[in-house]
A and B are shown apart, each in its own frame.
Chain A
C-alpha cells in the first residue's frame, strides 16, 4: 500500500493558508473563513494566537515566503534545469529551495532563499503546525486574482514594499519586488507599473488587459485618475490584505 503513496498524496490533506507578514498573521481556511492577528516580536506566539482564533480543524498549513526573498523566472527551456537555475538566479543553488515546471518549451522556476524557508518552517512548526507546502507569496496572490482570460498586472502593496505580478489564467509570467525605500513617491508605484507593462508587452508580444490592486498598504497608491494614467481598467481586490492567504488555501491537491 505504501509503495503506491506519492508525496503528492500528502498534499491531498485539507490545509489552510498561512500568510506571515511583518505586521500581521493572516489565515484563510478552505471554507473561506479569514482571520487576522497583529504580528508581535514573538512570531511563533502570534501564529499560535491566530491559529487559536481561527479555530482550525487541521494542523496542515500551506505557507508563503516574502517576495523579496524569492525568485520566479519564466525562461526558454533547454538543458538541465539545475544549470538553468544557476544561470538565472544570482544565489548559489545550495542556498536555495526550488521547484520547476515545464510549459510549452519554457521552464518555470520558483525558488526561495533556504535560510528564509527554514525560518518560516521553524515559526510554523513552533506553533504546532505541519507545513505541507511553501510557495512565493506572488504565486499565491496570483492564484486568487488571476483573470479568466488575457493578462493582468497585479500590484500587491505590503509594508516592506510592492510586488508586481503579471499573470494569465494559468501561469505567472513575471514578478518583481521593489522595496518601500526604492519607490518613496506616491506616484512612483504607478510609474514603475507602467514600465513593467511596457517591458512585458514588448518581450512577450501580449497585451495587459487590466490592473488589480491588492495588499495591506494599498492606501499609499494615489488612486486619483489611475485608470487614465495606466490606460487600462483598474480594480481593487475584494479582500486586499488576504489575497495571499486565500491563494494558499486554494492550492490544488496535485501539481498542474
Chain B
C-alpha cells in the first residue's frame, strides 16, 4: 500500500537533526560504557596481580631453595659417579690382598678407605720396628706410599696411617 508523510519539510529537517543527536548520544553512551568496563577490567586485573606478587615471591624462594638442594644432591651424586668410575682402575681388592700378605705378625688393620688420592690404611702395631717393616714392604709392592712421621713417634703401641697408590 502506498505510503505518504504529510510532516512539513522544515519539521522533517528538525526531526532529522534531533534523530542525529539521539544517535550521537546513544553512540557516545555505548562508547563511554565500553570504556568504563575496559578500564574497570584493567584496574581489577592489575590489583589482582599486585595481590598475588607476595605469593609468587614466596613460591620463587621455595623453588630456589629446592633448586639449590637438588644441585647439592647432584654434586654429591656426580662425585660418587666419578669415584665409582675410578674403582675398576684402582683395583682395591688386589691392593688389600697385597697388604694382607706383607702384614707383619701382631700388626692389625683398623680401617681401610678408598679415595681418588689412593687407599688409606689405618692400623695398630705393638712396636715401632714392625711399622717400619710394614712401610718397607709396602714400598716394594706399591708405586707411591705416603707415610707420615707421626707413625714413628711412639716406640710401643703405635697407631699408624699409610696411603698407597
Chain A interface residues toward B at CB < 8 A: 2, 5, 7, 9-11, 65, 70, 97-101, 103, 108, 110-112, 114, 117, 121, 130-136, 139, 142-143, 146, 167, 169-172, 251-252, 254-256
- B88 at interface by CB-CB < 8 Å: no
Let me know if B2 and A97 touch, CB within 8 A.
no
B residues whose Cβ falls under 8 Å from a Cβ of A: 1-8, 11-12, 15-16, 18-20, 23
Which residue on B lies nearest to A100, using beta carbons?
B4
**Smallest beta-carbon distance B19→chain A, Å:** 5
Also in contact, A99 and B4, with CB within 8 A (given A2-B20, A7-B16, A132-B15): yes
B8 near A10 (CB under 8 angstroms)?
A: no
B-chain residues with CB within 8 Å of residue A2 when the two chains form the complex: 20, 23
The answer to whether B1 and A135 touch across the interface, beta carbons within 8 angstroms, is no
For A256, the chain B residues whose CB sits under 8 A away are 1-3
Q: Does A135 lie within 8 Å of B4, measured CB to CB?
A: yes
CA distance A254 to B4 in the complex (A): 10
Contacting pair B20 A134 (CB below 8 A) = no
Known A7-B15, A10-B15, A121-B11; judge A135-B5 contact (CB<8 A).
yes
Min distance, Cβ B5 to any Cβ of chain A, angstroms? 5
**B1 in contact with A11 (CB, 8 Å):** no
Closest 4 CB pairs of A and B: A99-B4, A110-B4, A134-B6, A97-B6
Total of A-B residue pairs, C-beta within 8 Å = 79
- Complex Cα distance, B8 from A65, in Å, reads 14
Residues of A within 8 A of B12 (CB): 7
CA gap between A3 and B23 in the complex, in Å: 13
Q: Among B2, B6, B16, B20, which residue has its beta carbon within 8 angstroms of that of A108?
A: B2
Is B20's CB under 8 angstroms from A5's CB?
Answer: yes
**How near does chain B come to A2, taking the closest CB pair, in angstroms?**
5
Do residues B11 and A139 form an inter-chain contact, with CB atoms below 8 A?
no
* Residue contact B5 to A11, C-beta cutoff 8 Å: yes
- Given A7-B12, A7-B16, CB of A97 within 8 Å of CB of B7: yes
Name 7 A/B residue pairs within 8 A (Cβ), A-sorted: A2-B20, A7-B15, A7-B16, A117-B6, A121-B11, A132-B7, A255-B4
A254 to B3, CA, bound (A): 8
Q: Which residues of A contact B1 (CB under 8 A)?
A: 139, 142-143, 146, 167, 169-172, 252, 256
Q: Residues of B contacting A172 with CB < 8 Å?
A: 1-2
A65 lies within 8 A of B2 (CB)? no
| Shortest Cβ distance from residue B87 to the other chain A in the assembled complex, whole angstroms | 86
A115 to chain B, nearest CB (A): 12
Interface centre among B4, B15, B16, B18 (most CB of A within 10 A): B4
CB pair B6 A255 closer than 8 Å: no
Residues on B with C-beta less than 8 A from A132 are 7, 15
